[in-house]
Structure 1
Amino acid sequence: IFIMAHTSNSNAQLENSANKINNASLSNLKNLLLEIKYITNNLSIAENNLRENINNVNDKDWDEEIMKIEILKTKLQENLEILDNPVFVKNVAKCVSKRKSKRLAIKAKKHENEHYKRNVIIKRNKMHEQIDNTLRNIANEHKKDLQKKIQIKESESILSDVKSRINEARHWLGIIEPLKSLRSLRNQAAVARGEKLSSFDQNVFDNTIDKLKEIWQQKLELYLNEEQELKKTLSLHYEKRFPKIYEDEWKTALFGENGEDFKVNSIQELIRIRSCWDQFIVSTNAKKGSKIPIGFVLPAAPSSDLWKKYLNDG
């Protein structure tokens, strides 16, 4: 019976060892090493107990301890044989290689993700910078537009003041001539009454009138020049600020209201509109081509004598 039990246990141990060798893995290797460490620690403890109690332990207990030590040694020997087995070593090496490849792949994936995240952050920062620049440009444009509006209002206010001064200068210039006429009429009336006129008084009056006229003419000329400069400045401001308004006004003047609101209610209306356009169609053999509708384009001054002959003075 003992031999059969021992044989059965041996067969089971061999089968277990074969499974560990064939199914080698890093986890199995770890468990095997932990088991070897555990057996080694137990052997060391058992040896110390026997050394300390060598004189106190009886034969039966001694034999039991020796049997336990033998069992542990047998188990340790089996595990060491598994570690030394070439098949087990080869299988473990394969597992290590796979684990290494897996870790390298994970590391590469991690680096790839980090690189992707860095690129995302860089792109996001660039986008934020572009948005900030756009907002700054919009704010600057708004600020410039506001400054232009203020400048236009100031220029319009100054222009209004200059116009009032021009009117004032013309007013006083208009008064000077009637004063001279009135003085002349009074002198004629005095001569008719036989009164003697003072040449000194007349010279003083004439000099005063001439000086006043010269002063107001100089002022008027100065005001007119200032008015022209202000009008040029305002014209530049308007041309820069209101090109879309001018364009819309021209489109309305040339083509009427928005085409989306235009509807043809009948075939007769469509024929009439088409006929209005067809009147400008000329033969393909015409040398001068079709005539531009009046008011469609404002003619400019001729750029050269070559073009001047083609302009109609009428």
Structure 2
Amino acid sequence: MQLYHSFAEVQLADPTILTIGKFNGLHLGHRALLLQVVARAKELGATSAALTFDPHPTVVLQPEHKQVYLAPHAERLQAIAATDIEHVIVLHYNDQLRQLSAEQFMRQLCAHINLRELWVGPEFRLGYRAQGTVEVLTQLGEQLGYTVQPITKLEIDGAPISASRIRELLQAGRVADVVPLLGRPFAVVGEVVRGNQRGRTIGFPTANVAVDPQHLLPADGVYACQVTLADGSHHPAVTNVGVRPTFGVLARTVEAHLLHWSGDLYGQTMRVAFVERLRGEQKFSGIEELKAQIARDAQRAGEVLGV
């Protein structure tokens, strides 16, 4: 996969089949679209390409919105690459790009890409104030020499797969229910940082994972998780997401206790994949009650994860 970060870097002379999207979380609907683009390009002897944005447009358009991302940018690119797309253009989304009309954007695009087909979802919109509907883009294509191929959204259980549907499930703590939509467990990534080490003092040391504040977290609670360390090793874990009400902590944190493992994780990058929610967050009367519950949580996580 060839990666570009501006139109200026791109010059695709071969006929190109392209899709454009935010691809937030790279769910199975996105994957289906990308695979169709790859298959179509092979059918026509053309090249395949995808165009996306970083940061997510919502970060620029609605900066008051937090927890936008469903997957780290690097994982999104890895998932796109796994579809065998040949070229990926990641445009830096800023106010200048935001103000481009659909026509201005498409003319810039077509100056660098020999665009033959544009594949998008039926509700796709592009350009200033989202005026570039499928109909508008189709009309522009008549001038610029490409056609638009709108596709039907992939459905599971009678409803389309979408980032908003996944977000709603995660905000309800239903991490197991997003697996059929994402095609994998939902995960967060961050560096292990020093906390107050309370877990260590009560016999359950935890890794405090510093997650990007723009990355969505599931509902507060305790989860059975699979942790991946920087060396590629995988470890079962019980993870708390929340504010730790027993200790009066107000900031939301992600703390993972690795089962049957000990060692120094500070400074390492850790990936925490959420498998199943065990319970909601609780406030306990004291340390002993908390310790007893954590022990039960760890046992239950081990049962869920088969260890």
Q: Which TM-score bucket, shorter chain as reference?
A: under 0.3
Bigger strand share: 2
After TM superposition, the score normalised by the length of structure 1 is 0.14
Q: Which has the higher contact order (CA 8 A, sep 6+)?
A: 2
Computing the radius of gyration from Cα coordinates, the structure with the larger value is 1
After TM superposition, the score normalised by the length of structure 2 is 0.15
Bigger helix share: 1
